[in-house]
Every structure is written in structure tokens, then in C-alpha cells.
Structure 1
Amino acid sequence: MLRTMTRADLGRALDWAAEEGWNPGLEDLEVFHATDPGGFFCAELGGKMAAAISVVNHSPSLAFLGLYLCAPAYRGQGIAHALWLHALKHAGDRTVGLDGVPAQQENYRKSGFVLAGQTKRYAGALRPGHGKGVTSASAADHPLLIEMERRACGYAKPTFCAAWLEPAQTRYTLVHRSNGTPDGFLTLRRCRDGWKIGPLCAPGIEVAKTLLEAAAQHSEDDQVMIDLPQESAPLAAHCLEMGLEPMFHTARMYRGPAPLPGPGLHAVATLELG
């Protein structure tokens, strides 16, 4: 049976993601589900969840695919592929993006996805510093930050970003201000192992460095992970200079017209929802 996930099902899928080494955030579930409650799907056999996938509609023009997982006992039987076809119907005629493992590029291509670039994960401890001009985000900042992120990545995620920017016990959004006006920000969240940063938007590398220095005050000496598209070369170079190490890369692919990233250094919010 192919059906829409419940919140409990999504929690189970995130546990599977953790077992695969994807390291979800401690408070991802509620934000993910609230973004598009009808965009999470599972295959069920004998009362047990066999496979999972998400196709979350962010806007009338774009959806994002993620959390494509199959329990080991059910692999190689066509169950996950049937779920894939079922879930993609949810996107309608929207462009659909994904960040997939490179080994699956050919399979994604058969479903109409075209390679647009790579996203590389860097991991390590951040270098502490003064973080001058950085404060916690306020509710009044949110509309500007959402627009800043839209320009940087090339597509809008208004429902997701509005929830993502809300403060939580293990998720913080920090804003850099010039003359009192926000010109860059990042979100830092505690994960099952260490922390992840995403998104990060900044007008240049100096603001990005200052934001990362401020984030280090929260993460201390713990490992921090950040996912950078290939357009973020200056930020990638700074990560290497700080001693962060590249872990793996994913293939950014789209079915339909690909959005065009705008100016501004950028880190991906999540590999699951874009």
C-alpha cells in the first residue's frame, strides 16, 4: 500500500536517515511536516513501513524530493520505485529538485532529472572569534531573511523558511547587521551528531566569516557540517582554510526548468528539502 505518511511515519523515516548516516536535526520533524503535510509518502507491507520518500511543494513552481529510503529487507523488489512514481505525482507540473548520491544519477536521469551541479559537505570544528555585528534573529527580520535566501538559491521556500527561522531549543538563527540592517544570516541546528549550518547567506566572504565566528560560540568544539553548492567557492575555500574537511558530495538535479542561483554566498538549508 502506498500512502501519505503520518508524523509518526516521518519520525521513523528520519530514524532510517540517521542509520544511513544522513544525520538529521533533533527538531527537523515538525518543520519538515508543517512545510507540506501531504508531501511525505511511504510504502507499507504487512503493516510495516517498507520505503519512504518526500516530494515537498514549496511554491506553485517548485518542489523538492528527498528522504528516499528503503528498508534493507525490501530492496530490489520494485517497491521503492513504485513509491517514487507515486510521490512525484504530488508535484504536478512543478520543477522538482533533488540532492542525490552520484551513483544514482543515471536512475534519476531516466526519470527526467538533469544534472545542474554538485553540493559538497564540509565538516569540522569552527574557529571562534568576536562575531562582531551578529545578533539573534527577531521576528521582524524574517521577511527580509526569507527573501535573501530566495535570491541566493534561486527559488522560494516561504512556508519552510518561516518555520525554520523560528527559534527552537536546538536551532538558532544569527543575523549580521550593517548600520542596523540585516545583510547576512545563518541557521545553526543541533543534529544527532554535532551541528549543521544551513542556510547561510552573505554578501561576501567577510560577512560569512563573521557569521561562522558567531556560530562557533554555540557549537564550541563540536563538529559542524555545512553543505555548499559549487557556486559557493569562496565559502568553500574558507571552510578548508579553517580546517574543515570535505566529506562527500551530492548531485543537484532538476526535472523541469532549473532555478538560477543569485549573488551572495550560500549554504544549502537541508539536503532533504533544499
Structure 2
Amino acid sequence: MTPQDIVVRAMTRSELDTALDWAAAEGWNPGLDDAESFYAVDPQGFFIAECAGEALGCVSAVAYDETFGYVGLFIVRPPFRRRGVGLRLLNVALARLQGRNVGLDAAIDMQRIYARYGFQFAHRDIRHQCVGGGVSPEGLTDLACVPFDDIMRYDAAVFPTSRAKFLSRWISQPRSVALAVAPHGRLAGYGVLRACREGYRIGPLFADDAQIASDLLQGLCARAPGARIFLDTPEANPAAIALTQRRNMTALFDTARMYVKGPPPGRIDRCYGIATFELG
């Protein structure tokens, strides 16, 4: 196989399921219902590489709007690595998002490669784990009781841009729990727990302060007693790291969050857990 033999094209919706199977094989532990939320954001933003009809790898290049995009789900199947497949996929992804600030979560040892494309290190994201259980604190409410416009406004103050298509599905997906803290009707934090290939993942976990984040985390953990629970925490928020330490969570691995145009605006101090490495 030569680089000229590699064809990159847009994925179908069913092929995204296959790509998430590849992600599971890599140990990324995707959610059982992630695909619907991912594909809804940007159906043209998912690509597969082929040679003679055989699937070689994939990448996502999701355009949230004209200013911000995200690269993820970047996988080359093991038999086809170091044969130019990854380079073709990355070039297609970056061409599609040209002109935007583009983010990604890179394996730590891949930072130099992404730096060649203009990506700059912003901070580490660290996957932590704990075991679910315990009693849910008082003061939590079902996120479905909060007006969606309020959720969007709160989320957009933390995430680099508005992501209504993603949120509308993410917070109501099957096999999930979404909780909020909203004293006197004002949203002060929310979190989502979703079923994954192994256990559950929490994300996003956004909150005004560490106490609200802790209450949301405990409330979500209480919904999955005895299960493994994972939280992807930005090191750039020291209060988030301190929260994982107070709960004796175990750090499993980390990634390098990188951006082409530097860290975008957003209340990183309110981010105690990102939604997903694949879409930010």
C-alpha cells in the first residue's frame, strides 16, 4: 500500500459505531450512546480511510461553528500504522477546520507531531476513577427541570462556544443521569453520568465552585453503586484536581489539551470534568 492508494471519505452513521468499537479497543472506553450525540453536531465531520475497500482508520473534525472546531477519534488500526494513513487523515481533518481555533486531546508522546501543525500545549486532562455509591446530597435536581436555554448559557460560559446540537442529545441520552444545582432557579452547576463500555463516565461536570462540584459528583456517583466511575479532569483548574484528591480518586492516564490559536475564552475554573476527549 502506498499513500496514493489511501482514500479518505466521510463516514456513514453506522460506520461511526465501528469507529467507536475501535476506540474501545484502544482503551478509550466510549459511552454506549455517544454516537448519536457526536453525529448530530456535524454529520460531515467524521472521516474514514480505506484502501481497496478495507477500513484503515478514522478521525473526526467537528465544526461547532465558524470559530471553533475539534479533532478527535483519531485512530489508525494497528496493522496499518506507520504507513502514511494517519498523516492523510490528519491533513483532511485540519483542512476541513481551516481558519478556526482547533482543539484536541493528544497522547502525551504525540505532542511534538501536533506541534508541527501549529498546535500549542494548553494543559493536561487527567482521567481519574473511583467506585460509585454513597448517599446523594440534598439540593440536587434533575437537569430536565432546568430550562434548556439556561443550560446552554451556562455551558457556553465554560466551553469555547455554544453547542446546542450536542447538549440537547447529550443531557437526555439513554442510560444516563443528568443533575443540576439551581438555587432559587439560577443554574450554578450541572453534571452528566453516562453508561460506557466499562462502568460510567461523568462529563461534563461544570460548577460555580468546588462545593457544588463535589455535591454533583457525589450525587452522580450515588446513582451507580459499586460501578467504576471515570472523570476526565483539567489540570488547569486546581480546584478540580483537589476535588479528586479529597475523594481519593486514582489517576489512570493523561492527555495534552492543545489548540491551534491558543486556549480559547471560557471559565476553566468552572470545569471539573470535560464531556469527552472526542469532542471536547
TM-score (norm 1): 0.95
CA shift, 1:125, in A, is 1.3
Structure 1 pair 127–239 and aligned structure 2 pair: CA distance change class (3 A)? farther
Report Cα offsets for 1:132-191 as digits up to 9, x if no partner: 1112112652221222122123333232122212x2321221111212332110011010
C-alpha RMSD of the superposition: 1.5
Does 2:28 correspond to 1:40? Answer: no
Q: State whether structure 2 residue 209 is matched by structure 1 residue 209.
A: no
1:14 alignment partner AA = L
**Which range moves more in the overlay, 231-240 or 9-18?**
231-240
Change (3 A) 1:90 1:77: same
2:130, 2:250 within 8 Å by CA — same for their partners in 1? yes
Aligned equivalents of 1:139, 1:3: Cα separation in 2: 41
Runs of 4+ in structure 1 deviating by more than 4 angstroms, as ranges, are: none
Written as runs of structure 1 = structure 2, the 5 A alignment for 1:126-165 is 126=132, 128-138=134-144, 140-165=146-171
* Greater displacement, 254-263 / 66-75: 254-263
Measured after TM superposition, the shift of residue 199 of structure 1 is 0.5
User: Match for 1:236 among 216, 223, 241?
Assistant: 241
**Corresponding residue for residue 131 of structure 2:** 125
Match of 1:38, SS?
coil
Task: Name the SS for the 2:188 alignment partner.
Answer: strand
**Aligned equivalents of 1:96, 1:123: Cα separation in 2:** 28
Give, in angstroms, the shift of residue 267 of structure 1.
1.3
Write the distance in 1 (CA, Å) between the matches of 2:240 and 2:36.
30
User: How do 1:54-93 residues align onto structure 2 when only pairs under 5 Å count?
Assistant: 54-93=60-99
1:221-265 Cα offsets, whole Å, 9 max, x none, are: 211111111122222212222121011110010112430331424
Alpha carbons 1:58, 1:160 under 8 Å: kept: no
**Is the partner of 1:118 in helix, strand or coil?**
strand
Change (3 A) 1:10 1:265: closer
CA contact (8 A) 1:133 1:176 kept: yes
1:255 pairs with 2:276: no
In structure 2, what is the Cα distance between the partners aligned to 1:170 and 1:236?
Answer: 27
Query: Superposed, which structure 2 residues align to 1:165-176 within 5 Å?
Result: 165=171, 167-176=172-181
SS at match of 1:66: strand
Query: Is the aligned partner of 1:181 residue 2:171?
Result: no
**For 1:243, what is the secondary structure of its paired residue?**
coil
**What secondary structure is seen at the aligned counterpart in 2 of 1:249?**
strand
CA contact 1:53–1:66 (8 Å) conserved in 2: yes
Percent sequence identity over aligned pairs: 32
What CA distance in whole angstroms lies between the structure 2 residues aligned with 1:27 and 1:39? Answer: 18
1:270 aligns with 2:276: yes
